[in-house]
Structure 1
């Protein structure tokens, strides 16, 4: 099995790098400065176990790769970039006949819960992956991972539900690459649980990772809205205890020598100067469900708007105080 990792940022770079390091067949798909750096210098992967320069194969798009029936596509771009990536890869021919959309499994390794739906419109065989993998990508060619003894927890299952032989084969290769990969028939339970945690990303991005009690209160209010909305929608999710039991002693954040502290994925996007962030599919998911079920979500609406404003204006992460953010929430 060859892992074609579409998107070589923090998550994609970490997954592709660890797979290559473990002797698994993997290729990264990158673009722009990240592609140039990986092509010219390889991937520098830093973690609690050291710093490694890895000559991971890299291509700059689907036209540069001949697909085979043994390939699995791992979609690791942000959800706002997923449609373009899916449309580019779905019609690609596979050796022996047929297209990628018809013949190859596709794993959605994004935050949020929308990428799987987008993928299933195009691909016959879609798998969800709940990614717990604290990692950072702030400069081309370099990714830092922060957990040990496993690099991350990657709950995996068929979408919308089920667990088949292909899921177990995908998990087997990832486990050889030092990931904890439980195969589950209810992977979306885990992704909805992760969504609750990711609601804090916008607050961190706007107010900074060291924001105090006012920021924590905003996060708590956003989460309370989300719990009400998910309950109204009848959406099940993994509990906090289940998540702690899975990761405790196995996926723990540890020091990385020379690794500068970094915020979460939305903070990193702003830090790199990205013109878009994934808030539409995090806080925006709660806003959407609230509107569908007649429940007001003023905190999540505000976080969604302000995070997107930051991206459009190119504002530095952490350049608004929690007090300034809090007063924008309608009363």
Structure 2
């Protein structure tokens, strides 16, 4: 069976490690800091629709010997802002064959899967790796406390839309994609293979630009209005940049899939950006969500005042210590009103 080296011990990385490990795959989790210390000392607390489990996961630091071998798949499950540090730390590692002989380096021999939101991850990974598979993950998973992950999806754990982002050897990449999606399907994920993964990444960012609103104080009606405007602005900018993403409804692989299980303890309105602010992390992915729209708008000479302002609000908040229920929704509503005049 395929061995998975999963780099990043957040909600997605841990969910993949647990579910693939349950199906008999050899998994290795690459973690850092307090999470690595926790996993070295005690089991992970994993909550899902099936209940609570304490699970021992094999975890090592990024600079440890990963024992890479032919046939491995590396899943890059760190946030977008960390990818450019992680990728070269793996790319130059030696890869051995079945008999322990060095066959070459990871950059040439090991396919990597990017799981990040936004549009930058696949291009970043291709700077080092010959074979890059892009994946859009659709999973209600939360990592707020060190050593604890909650996954609310049922009857499936979650979903993954995947495709080849770049490949020097297309046949080999097709086989890696088939292996990855088949293994995830067997691990109770809904899966779909596509030929235009960047379009689906663009569709996901239309949804994800709303994530930062959860960090701000304000009533639901106001937040919903601003969120819809952020998404509409993002779609306009993406169109100017040459993207034609499908409607976000295309990301729903099964309408019967439940997003939150009461048994899991997953709470609505706490997506990845909220979780980063709740954990007090020194960085977050806002620059690759709202910041991506701001970047494309500047490059193509069109305005994106809402996404630009939200990036600035949350960037400034991160710089000054973060927090939750932050002020600033009023400045967004003012810009929304000005745009409607």
Answering whether residue 302 of structure 2 is matched by residue 295 of structure 1, we say yes
Q: Distance in 2 between matches of 1:93 and 1:272?
A: 35
Q: Which residue in the other structure is 1:153 paired with? A: 159
Structure 1 residue matching 2:191: 3-state secondary structure: coil
CA contact (8 A) 2:306 2:332 kept: no
Answering whether residue 123 of structure 2 is matched by residue 113 of structure 1, we say no
The Cα of 1:247 is off from its aligned counterpart by 2.7
CA contact (8 A) 2:154 2:260 kept: yes
The Cα of 1:127 is off from its aligned counterpart by 0.5
| TM-score relative to the length of structure 2 | 0.91
Q: Which residue in the other structure is 1:16 paired with? A: 17
Q: 1:147 to 1:258 in 2, by over 3 A?
A: closer
The Cα of 1:22 is off from its aligned counterpart by 2.2
CA contact (8 A) 1:107 1:126 kept: yes
Structure 2 residue matching 1:159: 3-state secondary structure: strand
Structure 2 residue matching 1:256: 3-state secondary structure: helix
Q: Which residue in the other structure is 2:319 paired with? A: 312
1:116-144: per-residue Cα shift (whole Å, max 9, x none)?
00000110000000011111111111100
Which sits farther off after the overlay, 175-184 or 110-119? 175-184
Q: What aligned pairs does 1:228-267 form with structure 2 within 5 A after superposition?
A: 228-244=236-252, 246-250=253-257, 252-259=259-266, 263-267=270-274
1:26-67: per-residue Cα shift (whole Å, max 9, x none)?
111101110111122122210111111222211111433211
Q: Which residue in the other structure is 1:182 paired with? A: 192
2:203 to 190, 193, 197: 193
CA contact (8 A) 2:204 2:248 kept: no
Structure 2 residue matching 1:182: 3-state secondary structure: strand
1:161-186: per-residue Cα shift (whole Å, max 9, x none)?
87711100111211221111212112
Q: Distance in 2 between matches of 1:149 and 1:264?
A: 20
Which portions of structure 1, spanning 4 or more consecutive aligned residues, are displaced by more than 4 angstroms? 160-163, 257-262, 327-331
CA contact (8 A) 1:206 1:310 kept: no
Unaligned runs of 5+ in 1: none
1:223-268: per-residue Cα shift (whole Å, max 9, x none)?
1211111122221212234233x23113533223555556111111
Q: Which residue in the other structure is 1:140 paired with? A: 146
2:228 to 220, 224, 229: 220
Q: Distance in 2 between matches of 1:131 and 1:62?
A: 27
1:76-101: per-residue Cα shift (whole Å, max 9, x none)?
00000110001211111111221111
Q: 1:262 to 1:301 in 2, by over 3 A?
A: closer
Q: Distance in 2 between matches of 1:69 and 1:160?
A: 19
CA contact (8 A) 1:150 1:250 kept: yes
| TM-score relative to the length of structure 1 | 0.93
Q: Which residue in the other structure is 2:284 paired with? A: 277
Which sits farther off after the overlay, 158-167 or 43-52? 158-167
The alignment of Structure 1 onto Structure 2 pairs a total of residues equal to 328
Q: Distance in 2 between matches of 1:295 and 1:283?
A: 15
CA contact (8 A) 2:305 2:335 kept: no
Q: Which residue in the other structure is 1:52 paired with? A: 53
